[in-house]
Amino acid sequence: MRARLRDERGQMTIVELLVSMTIFIVVLGATLFMFQTFDTLNRRTVSRAASQDSARTSVDRLARNLRNLASPTIEKPQAVDKATDYDLIFQTVDPVGPNTGANAANIKRVRWCLDASTPANEKLYVQEQTWTTQSTPSVPSSSSCPASGWTTTTVLVSNVTNNYGGASRPLFGYDSATLTAIHEVHVDLYSDLDPAKAPNETHITTGVFLRNQNAAPVASFSYALQGSSAIVLNGSQSYDPEGDALTYSWLDGGKKVGTGVTYSLAVTSKSSHSIQLQVFDPSGLEGDSTTTGIDIP
């Protein structure tokens, strides 16, 4: 047996064959492990890139919607219907139109909201409301995200992490708490396909100036007594931020008593009056002055 193991006439011994097979299996296993690891990392990278592209595309779409903010009308003097940290509803012009029916301006209502019920996999929804009537319909429900009553509902981004790990990072930020005074919207979207593993999450941010947003007018007035028979009211100090012409309404004790930029209110001696001026821009937005008490001698 020993002689045969020492035989070197070019034939492989059983021991050599077993050693070679063992080495081959080890190398093959290592190669397969490396290939599997590379494939897993590659698929994870592709999925992460797709998720990031989806987030960027969605933020760009939101910015376009905001830049096409619908101009105000008498029926609907404001374009922003709701503005919270995770819920934004506004009217925008539909670039795909024209719509059929009486909605010749192609206006639609858009809702962007974040479903944070699963912090490790929050979802960004867009809901749209379209109509063919001339008048603007009422806002559908926004009690949940998504909510019923909207024409379409679409998930645009998954794997949002604005609230992951106990964080509370607003998706939307505004330059005013008053809907009609919002002129800037800031978006901060955090996304991570797998928050428990590297690389770190992606932060996508943008800011949009609402060029079509209408600001409410400012009401202010002065007065002069004309003896004990009249109060001469002057509302020329009032103004509209967009420079539009205003209409004026004068109130005494909450009751309308006259119109016009100036008005002479007939009074009697020893009477008291609570005067307020209301002004309206062409789209119907209202500005109210403070109430001024005037005693007639």
Cβ–Cβ < 8 Å for 164, 134: no
Is the model's pLDDT at 223 over the cut of 90? Answer: yes
Domain shared by 200 and 237, yes or no: no
Does one domain contain both 116 and 173? yes
* Residue 117 domain boundaries: 70-209
CA distance 9 to 98: 90
Does 261 fall in a domain? Answer: yes
Residues 169 and 242 in one domain: no
Cis omega before residue 98 (within 30°)? Answer: yes
Residue with tokens 């002065």: 222
Label residue 243 left, alpha or beta by phi (over 0 means left) and psi (-120 to 50 means alpha): left
pLDDT at 184 over 90: yes
Domain end marker among 209, 232, 261: 209
Q: 177 and 98 in one domain?
A: yes
Q: What is the pLDDT of residue 5?
A: 44
Shared domain check, 205 and 226: no
φ and ψ of 28, to 5 deg: -65, -40
Residues 79 and 146 in one domain: yes
Q: Is 146 a member of any domain?
A: yes
Task: For residues 101 and 228, state if they share a domain.
Answer: no
DSSP category for residue 194: -
Q: Note the pLDDT tens digit of each residue in 237-268.
A: 999 988 889 999 999 999 999 999 999 999 99
The Cα 250–Cα 267 span in angstroms is: 14
As a whole-number percent, the residues of the chain with pLDDT over 70 amount to: 88
Q: Does the residue 1 lie in any domain?
A: no
Q: Same domain for 139 and 163?
A: yes
Q: Is residue 166 part of a domain?
A: yes
Q: What CATH number did the domain enclosing 278 receive?
A: 2.60.40.10
User: In angstroms, what is the C-alpha Rg of the chain?
Assistant: 34
Q: Does residue 179 lie in a domain region?
A: yes
Q: Is residue 195 part of a domain?
A: yes
| Domain end marker among 184, 209, 234 | 209
Query: Domain for residue 89, yes or no?
Result: yes
Tell me which DSSP letter residue 232 carries.
E
Residues 95 and 188 in one domain: yes
Question: How many structural domains compose the chain?
Answer: 2
For residues 202 and 262, state if they share a domain: no
Phi and psi based region of residue 76 (left: phi greater than 0; alpha: psi -120 to 50; beta: remaining): beta
Does the residue 56 lie in any domain?
Answer: no
Contact indicator for 279, 272 with CB cutoff of 8 Å = no
Structure tokens at 73: 């009308």
* Claim to verify: residue 240 and residue 142 sit in the same structural domain: no
Residue finishing a domain among 185, 209, 233? 209
Instruction: Supply the pLDDT for residue 212.
Output: 74
Is there a single domain that holds both residue 170 and residue 243? no
Pairing of strands 172-174, 184-191: antiparallel
Please write the tens of the pLDDT for every residue from 197-217: 777 788 999 999 987 778 889
pLDDT band at 123 (very low <50, low <70, confident <90, very high): very high
Q: Which two tokens stand for residue 5?
A: 């193991």
